[in-house]
Structure 1
Amino acid sequence: MMIDNYTELNEKLSRLQWLLQRQHFQSHAERGPMADPTRGQGRVLAILKLQPEISTKDLSYLLGIRQQSLNELLNKLEKSGFVERIPSEADRRIMMVRLTEKGKAEPQSEGDFSGIFSCLNPEERTAFGDYLDRIIAALEAQLGIEADEESFDWMNGARSRMGAEMFERLMEMRGGPRPHRHGHPGGPFRGGFEGCGGRHGRGPAPENMPGAERFSPDYTGPVPDRDGTGPSGVSSEKNEKGE
């Protein structure tokens, strides 16, 4: 009789999530919030280093976060003198984010994650990625997460505004495959994705689901281990803070 290990797998995933968050806190404490080009303020700075002036709407889509969350990040960056917000000359209703000279001079690392996955060989990393794709796709189907027409309209407009080459570079930084307008081949539209060898990818974050924002890489609020214990009863420092 096969042993039900669903609970064990869920606990391991929770443990992995907690460890990744711990690693981020440690990196933040050692190098500061700007050093990591894949998280929080550092991620905004990395995009602006490629596109020194961009609208807040475009930036919000590229980061995959809500406008409110973006404004919180921009407030911190603006207060530190790394960016400034100005009305667009073409349409003053549109707010532009511009990288300052201080922001241009701020050093950033390349974001090397090889240490996390170095315990796996290339074949194992590929298989692990396939398993994650399947789990993500199943959860998206359960939660009803779909790509919307607004995302496609933004992509078409952004490609025209930024130029095809710059748009492609920024989309690579965004991470994850892109929305496929027709969803799964041979079936109705379900917000499926193309890319990554035809595998499913992540859809937009479920903004109206309580607690969903905690799983965003840009989330800066409380997490379960802040009470002093993490998964499996591992203690954590109470003074750890996000970006």
Structure 2
Amino acid sequence: MLVVGELINSSRKAVAQAIAERNTEYIQDLARKQVEAGAHIIDVNCGTSIGEEEKVMTWLVTSVQEVVDVPLCIDSPSAGALAAGLAVHKGQAMINSITAEKDRWQEVLPLVQKYKAKIIALCMDDGGMPETVEDRLRVADKLVPGLLEAGIPEDDIYLDPLIKPLGVNSRYGVEALDAVAALKEKYPKVHTICGLSNVSYGLPERRLLNRAFMVMCLTKGMDAFILDPLDGQLMGLLKAAMALAGQDEYCLEYIAAARAGRIKA
């Protein structure tokens, strides 16, 4: 199970302020805390830094990698910002993200190839956001063969079925769960990933929904999440669900996390 820590994102007010002030200490502390809580990769996103995103991304990647020994997920709608972050990244990075949209594909694929990065592939094409499981499979049938043909290993591909807010449509949760199961059945050697908190957007007590949805996703085959690792109850549920699903031999990860105080009941 891969955990991508989501907290270094300029859409969060405190992070935006830290970026504006070039508060390296704050950013580094946030990175450290996420790794200590169990994140395997740290997402870095500075998409609100209009006009200087490439410069800021370079600073973010450099600052974070000074203090944590894990890969980063370079996250931006701007190919230029992705390239800037990848250029200074040490080791194999993850890119968030590519789609089957013609322009995005042409911009991002060369970066995936050049830097041999792991890639999050959103199930979206020029037709827009997917509405059904069939829509997602149709787009995945473009993404996966295209990436494989370009020389990207299956183990480096992470399909994102695109989780939509449950508050907009009560079927969006079931739709996403069915999509995960269908994608895993068709492409068993390719990973699945999602931004967990998208499902709860606009609803009260969001953490409760995120926690429940994570466990349900795991039972359908989801094997990577972009989430808040500082939510101890969320991380506890993740370790417990992995053990119950037979993904933690002798419950060793669960026991180690509990003894280290990284999870909460």
Fold shared by both chains (TM-score > 0.5)? no
Higher relative contact order, chain-length normalized (CA < 8 Å, sep 6+): 1
Could you say which structure has the higher strand fraction?
A: 2
Task: Return the TM-score normalized by structure 1.
Answer: 0.32
Rg comparison, structure with higher value: 1
